[in-house]
Structure 1
C-alpha cells in the first residue's frame, strides 16, 4: 500500500513538473523568459543602487535639518515636515516652478510644432534634405554646458554678437543675461535653438515609417496636401508625437545644466528652475535636509507624471 502511495506521489510530482515545463515553454515563446532572466537582474541591481537607495535616503534626510558634514545621528535635528513647508512657502521655489512651467509650455506650444513643420518639409530622402537635417541636428550634439558658454559669449553686451549688433545700430549696450526681465527668455531662446532638431528627428523617423502605398492611395483619392497631413500622416505618427511630448515635459522638469553657465541662476534668482533650486539651496548652501525635500518633490512629480502619461496616453497605441 505504501509503495502504491509513493508511486502515486512520484507520478503526481512528475505531472506537476511536466506542467511547469509546459508553462515555461509556452511563456518562453521567442525567448522572452530567457531574455528576462539575463537582463532583468542586472537592471534591478543598477536601479536599486542608483535610483531606489538614493531616493530612499533623500526621503529619510528630508525630515532632518542637517548639513551633511558629520553623521546625521550626531548633528541632524529631526524637524518633521518643516523642510517641505519651507520649500512650498519659499518665493524662489515659486519662481522655479513658474520658470519650469514656462519652459514646458514653450516646448509644447512653439518648439514641437516648429519641429513637426520642419520635419514635414525635409522628411523625404535626398542630399539637400540630409544636409539640412544634419546641420539642424548639430546643436543637440553639443553638451548643455558648452552650449551655455557659447551663448553666454553671444549675449555679451560688450564683445558678443548682441553687443556688436547694438553698436552697429547705434543703440546702447544691451546685456540680456543681466536683466531679470529678459534673462530667462534668453535661456528659452537657447533651448529652442538646441532641442528643436532633436524633436525634428523623432518626427522624421515617424514620417519615414509611413508606407508609401497609403500616401499614394490618398493622392489617387483626390486628397490634397492638407488632407493628407491631417487624415494620414498625423494619425500614423501619433506615437512619435506622444513620445516627443513626454521627452519635452520630463526634460523641462529636469532642466538645469544650461542655466549655470548662462546666468548662474541670476539675476536675483529670476532664472531658477526646479533642479537649479535644488542645486543652489541643497548643495551649494549645504542644506542637505532641505535639498532632500526638494529632490523628493521633483521625484514624486516626475514619477506621477510618467505613470499617468503611460497609463492614459502611451497605452492607447
Structure 2
C-alpha cells in the first residue's frame, strides 16, 4: 500500500514538473512572439505589403484613378521591348561597376590610411567622412555648380593644365562619368567606416606573430587583413549593388536623366512613367523588375559566399 502511494506521489510530482516545464516553454515562446511581433508587423506593413502591391498593380493598365484594367504580363512584355529600359539598365550597371570597383576599394584604402602613422589622424577621419554626412540634394547642387561649363571649379582646375572648358553635364560622353565621380566621392566614406570597424576587430596578436616571422606590410595585408575582411567585402558588395540598382536622387537632381537618356536610370524611368505620364501600372512593372534584379544580385552574392565558406570548411 505504502509502495503504491509513493509511486502515485512520484508520478504526480513528475506530471506536475512536466506541466510546469511545458508552461515555462509556452511563456517563453509567447515572450519571444511579443518581442518579435512589433518589428514583424512593421516589416509586413512597409516591406512585404508594398512588394505585393507593386506586383499586383503591375498586372493592370492603371492611370492612378479608381479604374484599372487587368492586362496580365502585358506591361512586362512592353517593358522588355522598350529601348529606354535597356539603356537605363545599362546605366545602372555602370553605377554598379563604379560602386564595386571604385567605391569599395577606395573605402578600404582610406580605412587602411587611418591606421597608418600619419599626423592629424582625427582630422583626416573627419574630412574623409564629411561627404557622407551631407544631404544628397546639397551634394547634387554643389556639384552642379562645380561642373558649370563657364564658371565651375572643375573647368577652372583643368584650365590650369591647358584644357578647354567641358560641358560636363550637358554632353552624352561626359555626363555619366561626372555623376559617377560624385557618387564615388559621396559613398566611399561609408565603406571606409565599415572596413575600419572590421579592421579594429582583428586581433593584434596575429600581426605581432606575423612580424616576428618576418612578414612585411604587404604580406600582413594579403595574408591576414584581406582574408579577414572578406565578409565585410561581401556585405559592402551587396549594399553597393542593391543601392546602385535603386539609385535615383543624385541623378535626378543633377541631370534629370539627361541629356537625352544618357544618365537615365531605372528609378528615373519609373518616376517619369508614374508621375509625368501617369502610367502607374507600367511604372509598377519597372519597380518590381528593379526589386527582382536587386533580390537576385543579393542572393547570388550570398550563395557565392556560402559556397566559399563551405569549401573552406572541407
User: TM-score surpassing 0.5?
Assistant: yes
Alignment correspondent of 1:115: 107
Q: 2:251 aligns with which of 251, 259, 262?
A: 259
Does structure 1 conserve the Cα–Cα contact (< 8 Å) formed by 2:273 and 2:283? yes
CA deviations over 1:128-185 (Å, ceiling 9, x no partner): 2221111011001112221111101111112221343466667654211000111111
Alignment correspondent of 2:42: 46
After superposition, residues 13-28 of structure 1 pair within 5 angstroms as 14=16, 17-21=19-23, 23=25
How far apart are 1:200 and its partner, in Å?
1.3
Q: Which structure 2 residue ranges, 5 or more long, are not aligned?
A: 1-8
Alignment correspondent of 1:304: 296
The CA distance in 1 between the partners of 2:68 and 2:169, in whole Å, is: 39
Alignment correspondent of 1:284: 276
Instruction: Give the 3 Å change call, closer, same or farther, for CA 150–275 of structure 1 in structure 2.
Output: same
After superposition, residues 191-270 of structure 1 pair within 5 angstroms as 191-270=183-262
Instruction: Give the 3 Å change call, closer, same or farther, for CA 291–218 of structure 1 in structure 2.
Output: same
The CA distance in 2 between the partners of 1:240 and 1:273, in whole Å, is: 27
The CA distance in 1 between the partners of 2:107 and 2:50, in whole Å, is: 36
1:61 equivalent to 2:57? Answer yes
1:115 aligns to what SS in structure 2? Answer: helix
1:77 aligns to what SS in structure 2? Answer: strand
Instruction: Give the 3 Å change call, closer, same or farther, for CA 34–264 of structure 1 in structure 2.
Output: same
2:173 aligns to what SS in structure 1? Answer: coil
How far apart are 1:77 and its partner, in Å?
2.0
The CA distance in 2 between the partners of 1:301 and 1:35, in whole Å, is: 37
The size of the alignment, in residue pairs, is: 301
Does structure 2 conserve the Cα–Cα contact (< 8 Å) formed by 1:242 and 1:313? yes
Instruction: Give the 3 Å change call, closer, same or farther, for CA 40–86 of structure 1 in structure 2.
Output: same
The CA distance in 2 between the partners of 1:86 and 1:171, in whole Å, is: 45
The CA distance in 1 between the partners of 2:295 and 2:129, in whole Å, is: 29
Does structure 2 conserve the Cα–Cα contact (< 8 Å) formed by 1:96 and 1:277? yes
How far apart are 1:35 and its partner, in Å?
7.2
Alignment correspondent of 1:178: 170
TM-score by length of 1: 0.85
After TM superposition, the runs of 4+ consecutive aligned structure 1 residues lying more than 4 A away are: 9-16, 21-25, 124-127, 165-172
Q: Which structure 1 residue ranges, 5 or more long, are not aligned?
A: 1-6
How far apart are 1:42 and its partner, in Å?
1.0
The CA distance in 1 between the partners of 2:295 and 2:68, in whole Å, is: 28
How far apart are 1:259 and its partner, in Å?
0.6
How far apart are 1:56 and its partner, in Å?
1.6
After superposition, residues 111-190 of structure 1 pair within 5 angstroms as 111-123=103-115, 128-165=120-157, 172-190=164-182
